[in-house]
Amino acid sequence: MTNSDYLTIQIGNKLKAIRKENGWKLGELAEKSGMSIAMISKIENGRVIPTLPSLIQLIQTLNLNLSDFFSDLKSDNEFKGYILRKRSDYTPVNKEEESVGYEYELILNYPLEKSSMEISLLTLKNKASRSAVSTAGFEYIYLLKGKIEYELGEMTFELNEGDSLFFDGNMPHVPQNKSNADAVILVVYFITMN
C-alpha cells in the first residue's frame, strides 16, 4: 500500500469519526457542505482521494482548524508484526444511523493492500431493529454469545454460539435477535478499495 492510499484511509476515518462526534448524519454534512452524500461516503470509506478544495470544504464545514486536522495523520504505514488492542481501547461507533439496539465497538481498523480490514464487536439487544444494509466488500461474522437469525438476501440463517458466516457484503443483510438475552457478534469487514 502506498503512503497516499494509507493517508486516504486515515483522512476518511477521521472525517467520519468527527462527523459522528458532532452527531451529524451523512445527509446533514452533505447539506451543510454542498457535497453529495455519495461523494462524502466514498471519502469517509477511503475509496477516493478527496481533492484539496473538497477536503478543505469538509474540514471547514465541521468547524475544524486545518493544522489540527492534519497534526496526527501519519504518512508511514510500518507494521511491526502485531497490533495489540486492549478492551479499554475499543471505540463505540454508530454504523447505521437509523438503527435501534445495535451497539458496535470498533476493535481494529487497519488498511491492507487495496483494501481495509475492520473488526468490530456488535452487541445485539433484544428486539434490535434496523433495515437491511449493503456494504462494499466482504464480511465475516462469528457468534460469540446468544442466538440470532441472520437475513442475507432472500435467505435466513439461524446461528447459535460458535456458528460463523462469511459473505459478500453487497448482498442486503441484517441480524435479528428475537430472544430475551443479548447476542454478541464478532464482525470482520474486508472493504475493497477502487
SS3 154: coil
pLDDT at 145 over 70: yes
Residue 105: band (very low, low, confident or very high) from pLDDT cuts 50, 70, 90: confident
Q: How far apart are CA 21 and CA 107, in angstroms?
A: 18
Q: How far apart are CA 186 and CA 76, in angstroms?
A: 29
Same fold, 3-70 and 87-192: no
Would you kindly state where each structural domain of the chain is located, as residue ranges? 3-70, 87-192
2-17: pLDDT as tens digits: 556 667 777 888 888 8
Q: Does the domain at residues 87-192 carry the CATH identifier 2.60.120.10?
A: yes
Q: How far apart are CA 117 and CA 190, in angstroms?
A: 5
pLDDT score, position 135: 81
SS3 23: coil
- The third-level CATH classification (topology) of the domain covering 3-70 is 434 Repressor (Amino-terminal Domain) (1.10.260)
Q: How far apart are CA 190 and CA 8, in angstroms?
A: 16
Q: Is the pTM of this model over 0.75?
A: no
In contact, 54 and 43? CB cutoff 8 Å: yes
Q: How far apart are CA 162 and CA 146, in angstroms?
A: 9
pLDDT score, position 1: 45
Q: If you search the block for the grid coordinates 443483510, which residue do you land on? A: 173
Q: If you search the block for the grid coordinates 477516493, which residue do you land on? A: 48
pLDDT at 75 over 60: no
